[in-house]
Amino acid sequence: MLKLRVNAFSVSVDGYDAGPNQCIDHPLGENGLELHEWFFETLTFRKMHGQEGGRDGLDETFAARATRDVGAWILGRNMFGPVRGPWPDESWRGWWGETPPYHVPVFVLTHHARPPLLMQGGTTFYFVTGGIREALDSARKAADGKDVRLGGGVSTLRQYLREGLIDELHLALSPVLLGRGEALFEGLDWRALGYRCVERVAGEKATHVVLAKQV
């Protein structure tokens, strides 16, 4: 069965996926980039961004797994950009320049409609106003037999978790304390939602934990 999965989702030791005060200068909130140091140095990350080199090892193993068999993505609006409320215009085209690292259809959750945005390298952003299930249905149709990857942020993950729609989550626990930000675990009874830890591995710069929903 095709999965809705979360991969390479970095979380601080104190449970935050992003720092506070996201803005154009801090796409992941203040100090949020520290969470992803394990990923930035991998072969996979550097290849995704057209760079050479990178580090092999266990962190690379999980980074590479994150890219396999993905036919579509779902993102929350904050993951697409810092613009809030109605779109003032269509000038904002994402954090990544004209060639985003997705290379497949990406469905962005929003309350405000916007035409699809065709980018270079095979990425097209579709803006979904009908909620998380509409986005999932559309992504599954577009995935052409592959899995759908849920990219975040925390609010989006928590919505899908509450509905029991995520099949598998790979969390990369980074040895970082953020103190404030967007909390992933707060107020969710993961055991009652049916999730169990099925894998854990200590990498070079993060501890990798895989949670799966038990059928």
Query: Model confidence over 49-71: pLDDT tens digits?
Result: 778 888 999 999 999 999 999 99
Percent of the chain with pLDDT strictly greater than 70: 100
Q: Residue ranges of the domains in the chain?
A: 4-85+105-213
Query: Model confidence over 123-140: pLDDT tens digits?
Result: 999 999 999 999 999 999
Domain 4-85+105-213, classified CATH 3.40.430.10, yes or no: yes
Burial class of 193 by CB neighbour count within 10 A (0 to 12, 13 to 18, 19+): middle
What values do phi and psi take at 46, rounded to 5?
Answer: -65, -35
Q: Is the Cβ–Cβ distance between 201 and 174 less than 8 Å?
A: no
Percent of the chain with pLDDT strictly greater than 90: 81
Helix (H) or strand (E) holding 80: helix 77-80
Q: Which of 18-32, 148-162, 172-186 is predicted least confidently? A: 18-32
pTM strictly above 0.75: yes
Q: What is the per-residue pLDDT for 110?
A: 97
> What is the band of 1 on the pLDDT scale with cuts at 50, 70, 90?
low
Say how many Å lie between the first and final Cα of the chain, rounded: 12
